[in-house]
Structure 1
Amino acid sequence: MSGQRYREFEDTLLSNEIIRALANELKALRARLVAIEDENRDLQAEMRRTTGEKKKLQMLNNVLKARNLEVEGENHSLQQELHGVRQCLQAASLKDVIRGALSMNSVR
């Protein structure tokens, strides 16, 4: 084989080796792309699920805030009622004390 033909043969072998290496790299890149696309689909599904959960939790939070306001209003009303009952009891107790004092004075 002449020197020129040998170099052409070597160049062909090298070109073939480069093509095989590039083909292998392309195959690996395609596999990575498939894996990344799968992961992306999974992440998008997870995002949709968590977005739905977030909306449900926000609605529940709004319901609980409204209920809390109702309970605070009920609590305020009950505290006012309790205050009124205490005042009535104190007044009744004071009347009993006064009656007792008056009856003791009339006995003397």
Structure 2
Amino acid sequence: MSMTDLREFQAGFQALSDPLRLRILDHLRSQELCVCDLCDLLEVSQSKLSFHLKTLKESQLVQMRQQGRWSYYRLNLAQFLKLEEYLSQYRRFGELFPTRNCLETE
């Protein structure tokens, strides 16, 4: 795995570590939303929301499209798949290598 890949995964997991960003993603699971709609749903100021949306965008978890003066956000499912594939390696590791107990020697 390259350093670029590792940095990409790190950015994604860091973005997922914030409760407000998780709430944003939860609202975007079902539909694309405008910033103003997200502000209303989350009851946060636009400046606070913009900071978190920037983080999600930089981590490639969301995509933005501009329509007139409005910005619309949606999930970037391809990035979620990359994170899922990365994590699945750990699940496979656990399945391949059974738990071991160390024998105590006296």
Fold shared, TM-score > 0.5 on shorter chain: no
Higher helix share: 1
Higher strand share: 2
TM-score range normalised by the length of the shorter chain: under 0.3
Larger Rg: 1
Q: TM-score, normalized by length of structure 2?
A: 0.27
Q: TM-score, normalized by length of structure 1?
A: 0.27
